[in-house]
Amino acid sequence: MNKILILFAHPAFKRSTINAALRDGIEGEDGITIHDLYGAYPDFFIDVDYEQRLCEAHDIIIFQHPFYWYSTPAILKEWLDLVLEHGWAYGSQGNALAGKYTLQAITAGGDGASYRTGGTNGHTIGELISPYRATASLCGMHWLPPFVVLGVHRGLPGVIVNGHVERYRQAIIALRDGRVNYQEAARHEYLNSNLKAIIREP
């Protein structure tokens, strides 16, 4: 069983709809640690030793957040800047994260058509999150495509939200239980483009 760490970043969690729903769907599951960064560090004073021990104790690290200005809420950048130290995360002696898997779980206001070359956002989600991919690579981690929920601005109907919650839950449980075909997953734009193609049934 893989141990999963979810680094959850939402600066206005009380007003969250979709991230709160996605998080509720996996809360309390065995082997899954949900670490709320804004809850733990409202003043941004990140406990680097604690975060590093937490990462060491898990096999898969997931950054879950709303898309803010084509990127992450600010605390995730602070987390990367402080926690991924030379000699721990990278450099000739820095291999604490090597071999672990990582991905982002992103919710975004824009829809699928807008995240295309020539669309209103001009770039794909994959292009916009390339710093995370490069960071994972530098740290010797295996990067997986993001789990993505798009079109949130339109106000998603409950039935659609429930579908995303269920698919997020399926994906996280399958990652935990070692039922994700990583090679197949790497061929898809999003982890949830076609979950059936990448997850083996229990």
Could you tell me where the DSSP H helices lie in the chain?
18-24, 37-40, 48-56, 74-83, 125-128, 130-138, 158-176, 182-185, 195-198
For position 108 contacting ligand FMN by CB under 6 A, the verdict is yes
Name the pairing type of β-strands 101-107 and 147-149: parallel
Pick the binder of ligand FMN from 5, 6, 7, 18 (CB under 6 A): 18
Element holding 35 (H helix, E strand):
strand 32-36
First to last CA, the chain: 13
For position 36 contacting ligand FMN by CB under 6 A, the verdict is no
b/e map 99-126, b = 16+ CB within 10 Å: ebbbbbbbbbebbeebbeeeeebeeebe
For position 25 contacting ligand FMN by CB under 6 A, the verdict is no
Residue 150-189 contact track with ligand FMN, rule CB under 6 A, x = bound? --x-------------------------------------
Stretch that binds ligand FMN, among 38-46, 61-69, 81-89, 170-178 (CB under 6 A): 61-69
Q: Which of residues 78-107 bind ligand FMN (CB under 6 A)?
A: 107
For position 124 contacting ligand FMN by CB under 6 A, the verdict is no
Stretch that binds ligand FMN, among 26-34, 63-71, 84-92, 163-171 (CB under 6 A): 63-71
For position 110 contacting ligand FMN by CB under 6 A, the verdict is yes
Taking each helix axis as running N to C, give the angle between helix 48-56 and helix 74-83, from 0 to 180 degrees, rounded to the nearest 10: 80
Binding stretches for ligand FMN (CB under 6 A): 10, 16-19, 66-70, 107-110, 152
